[in-house]
Structure 1
């Protein structure tokens, strides 16, 4: 029950609720925001007015009323600040990861830009940076491609070239041989 006329306690809190609030305030996980909000609720239950609580905690009366109203509506969960930003869209993330898995199953090397273009065929519009984030969350690894022409070389030509280069190498010096400088 929340009174706004200034007569009687602002909030009725049972003994079990008080115990629970004190546990929240003493918890190692609780930050200063949670402790301050618990104190607002407990002081209101003791009969303090919102302006008096605000002066005591160096907060505005409107802030105190907002916290108390949220506590009445949501209970102890209202004492913890909400995380910033939107809630994660899990179905969309799963769809994007499935699309990336199907593209990555193809036998070729991809850059993030190429993956961003390829995933557009699935109706997903992402930039290369966001593609890299999805790849990281999927545990996919990547590395710099190795510059090589081995896949385009003829084995017989390579063998002949190696033999020709071997014949052109300098022969190792024999021990005890006289070297004339000059």
Structure 2
């Protein structure tokens, strides 16, 4: 049975470079796994904080923040599990091209959704506790602090997804150039 694209690239890389190449592959998978877990933690915490403030949830931007961060948390949990699988086994759950484009496209889409939700909620959170808005005066300082932290964690979730999108974008570019998600082996002279 002939080797698939990634198998051929892995065999060539193993011939040329040996064990350090396997370590680089694992390091790349672990970096992506850490970014996924960080996005999961930030977005789950943002969703939990947004859900605990009933007065703020009466406003559409905070409901959007709650929904977006909950969706990003579920996606990040799935991707963290897929990343753990890849780090442990060295293979992707889906066929390699499908997994690469799935990761890259969804990282961008969900990242921008998290950014939009945090930005809209930040605009309303800026008036929290201010004299100009009735809902801000009714919240109190502790609730305003929860709203501010939820918005900040929403932005953090976006930042981790944006970094993951950079890594997955690099992997897609490597795949398009070499037929594998890994860098081509450097020539040894």
Q: Scaled by the length of structure 2, what TM-score is found?
A: 0.29
> Which has the larger helix fraction?
2
Larger radius of gyration: 1
Question: With CA pairs under 8 Å and 6+ residues apart, which has the higher RCO, 1 or 2?
Answer: 2
